[in-house]
Chains A and B, each alone.
Chain A
Amino acid sequence: MSKIANAFKNGKAFIGFLTGGDPSLAKTEEYIFEMIAGGADLIEIGVPFSDPIAEGSVIQRANLRALSAGTTLPKLFALVERVRQKSQIPLVFLTYLNPVFRYGYERFFQKCRSVGLDGVIIPDLPAEEQGEARIFAEKEGVDIISLIAPTSEERVRVIARNATGFLYVVSSMGVTGVRGEIQTDLASMLALARSVSELPAAIGFGIGTPEQARAMAGVADGAIVGSAIVRLIEQHGETAHEPLRRFVAEMKAAVLES
């Protein structure tokens, strides 16, 4: 059992995302601890990429800010190492494949293990293409977290069977970003996933309010929130500490009520 399972130990989980290096690496480090203080159970750190094709405009802008601030993968590994000295919270990267590929799969997953990163989410690496990375990830005990989409249908069986860490259930079609309503039949998706996998499942994409978080955690084991957090950081820049902690606490409370 990987450390990621710990995130789901205390009831329903709240998973928070922020883009690494937005507005700066120092602030990202402080903000991670604010999110932990607010009650986050797992933190996703986005590795900024020049062309984030699965992201909506909010996270696209965060990627640009982080890259302009000089954020790189080696610097984010150093950040994880610093956070790890003070906290055992499960940490994962959300990264597009190319930065990992350029770094080298073997070296990348060795580094993940040595700094204490528990898993990676790679939105442009579907099940069929995971083999080339998975051999190195498994060797180092790092989870590659698989995504399940509303269009996955029967693919859910194959994906869930090979998945590690947790199942990332994409709530609706489209890119990341807060949505007014989520209409997917998530209960059926979850039922199918659970029939083939013991892993916890968390729902992400489009969740921005406590009501949505409560509803999503109601059908799954947790809720993932990215764009709403990144937007707070965009609004408050270097002084997002307080609003961030308050927002995470509110969302965590909603998730627990579900």
Chain B
Amino acid sequence: MSNGRYGPFGGQYIPETLMQEIHALEDAYARYSDDTDFNAELETLLREYAGRPSLLYFAEKMTAVLGGARVYLKREDLNHTGSHKINNVLGQALLAKRMGKTRLIAETGAGQHGVATATAAALLGLECEIFMGREDTERQALNVYRMELLGAKVNPVDSGTKTLKDAVNETMREWVARTHDTHYLLGSVMGPHPFPRIVRDFQAVISREARAQVLQAEGKLPVAVMACVGGGSNAMGMFHHFVPDAGVRLIGCEAAGLGVDTHQNAATIANGSLGVFHGMKSYFCQDEQGQIAPVYSISAGLDYPGIGPEHAWLHDSGRAEYVPVTDEEAVAAFEFLARTEGIICAIESAHAVAHAQKIVPQLPENESVILCLSGRGDKDVAAIARSRGVQVHE
């Protein structure tokens, strides 16, 4: 079956109980992705509610400090709910509603996707339950309360490593038990087909806008676009419309935690191997026995042992590059961007900032690069303070 494949990656490796539902989702998406009313409603929500288009901001001071290519920031952090997650969530929530669903369930790592889902549920009058690893509910306590404020029920997940992967497991278990009224609003370009495709399409608004914006500002395409990668949704969104532009490097920045040569990282392309998990064939951090490895990153949103199948294919086909960025580099970049541009970005996005600091000085001054700032960093301030030995109370 070629459907839902990116080269050898992707597929639909899920329990039989979910197959009928996943096919219903495929059918609904095929129908509504070309539907004028659906798209008009989504566009209105993106514009009037989420605040799109997001800015493409020329980071003049950062450019001057780095002394190389001109740096543009795609400001997904300025979206309603503070991250790119809202792009996909509004699309899928509308789709779920068209399918007659009355309830949304979702996994969340850092809480950004959970907050976005709870927001869409509140707006569209849907019930909402979020699954979040116990460890993440503790390191992102404020987001838990945000979701509750928005009317969602947050279920802390105590199985396995108590982080994002376990939240996905638990959301799948919940979905297997209840599909008739419930849509699993998956938050990244991962999972069984058609999720990698749906999420990519809804996130592609990032590169659709950015490509036009940069052409307007520079009169030519950038030499590189970059984004952080966990499952890979903001990166797929940032890459998509640049994929046919052979001269534009696509760079995904993975969470290397304490280092790619330690056991404490989540760098799937650097350290992973081919496997089948969470409904897809892709690269995963795993042991020789095929047991999924516990992963680690300071960033709850990148703390995932796999990567979306389209990224695996972009990597293997040589179209995109994936680079590891450590916690320490990300924290330094978080502080750098705050002091240089007055922007407190998400620690996830700071992984891309860190890589820009490394490569931009080597790139010609008459060229440009775009960095996707996938989210804002308010949620991370307390954790960064702790990592610097400062105690703050939220």
Contacts and interface: CB of A to CB of B under 8 A. Distances in A.
A243 interface: no
A97 B289 contact: no
B176 A124 contact: no
Interface stretch (B16-24, B146-154, B332-340): B16-24
Interface string B278-289: 110000101011
A11 interface: no
Contact of A129 (B1, B18, B166, B274): B1
B292 A51 contact: yes
Interface string B159-180: 1100001100100110011110
Contacts of B11: 129
Given A102-B290, A129-B1, A151-B19, A173 B12 contact: no
B21 A151 contact: yes
B19 A126 contact: yes
Contacts of A131: 1
B223 interface: no
Given A98-B290, A152-B20, A126 B14 contact: yes
Interface in B4-43: 11-21
A150 B290 contact: no
B5 to A, nearest CB: 11
Contacts of A102: 273, 275, 286, 288-290
Contact of A126 (B13, B165, B169, B179): B13
A185 B172 CA distance: 24
Nearest to A48: B291
Given A60-B159, A99-B289, A153 B16 contact: no
Contacts of B273: 102
Interface in B208-227: none
B47 to A, nearest CB: 38
A8 interface: no
A166 B233 CA distance: 41
Residue among B179, B286, B289 with max Cβ neighbours from chain A (10 Å): B289
Contacts of A72: 289
B276 interface: yes
Nearest to B17: A149
A126 B16 contact: yes
A181 interface: no
Contacts of A175: 173, 176-177
B277 interface: yes
Contacts of B291: 49-50, 67, 98-99
Interface residues of B, number: 37
Interface string B25-65: 00000000000000000000000000000000000000000
B13 to A, nearest CB: 5
Interface string A86-116: 0000000000011111110000000000000
Contacts of B276: 97-98, 101, 124
Contacts of B278: 53
Contacts of B13: 97, 124-126, 129
Residue among B176, B178, B273 with max Cβ neighbours from chain A (10 Å): B176
A128 B178 contact: no
A236 interface: no
B391 to A, nearest CB: 35
Given A60-B159, A102-B275, A175-B173, A170 B17 contact: yes
Contacts of B159: 57, 60
Nearest to B292: A50
B20 A147 contact: no
Residue among B16, B277, B288 with max Cβ neighbours from chain A (10 Å): B16
Nearest to A73: B289
Contacts of A97: 13, 276
Residue among B159, B165, B288 with max Cβ neighbours from chain A (10 Å): B159
Contacts of A146: 16
Contacts of A73: 289-290
A244 interface: no
A101 B277 CA distance: 10
B307 to A, nearest CB: 15
Interface of A: 49-51, 53-54, 56-57, 60, 67, 72-73, 97-103, 123-129, 131, 146-153, 155, 159, 170, 173-175
Given A51-B277, A98-B277, 19 more contacts: A49-B291, A51-B160, A53-B278, A54-B176, A102-B286, A103-B290, A126-B13, A126-B14, A128-B12, A128-B19, A147-B15, A147-B17, A149-B19, A149-B20, A150-B17, A151-B21, A173-B17, A174-B177, A175-B173
17 contacts: A49-B290, A51-B166, A51-B292, A54-B176, A98-B276, A99-B291, A124-B15, A124-B279, A126-B12, A126-B16, A146-B16, A152-B16, A173-B176, A173-B177, A174-B176, A174-B177, A174-B178
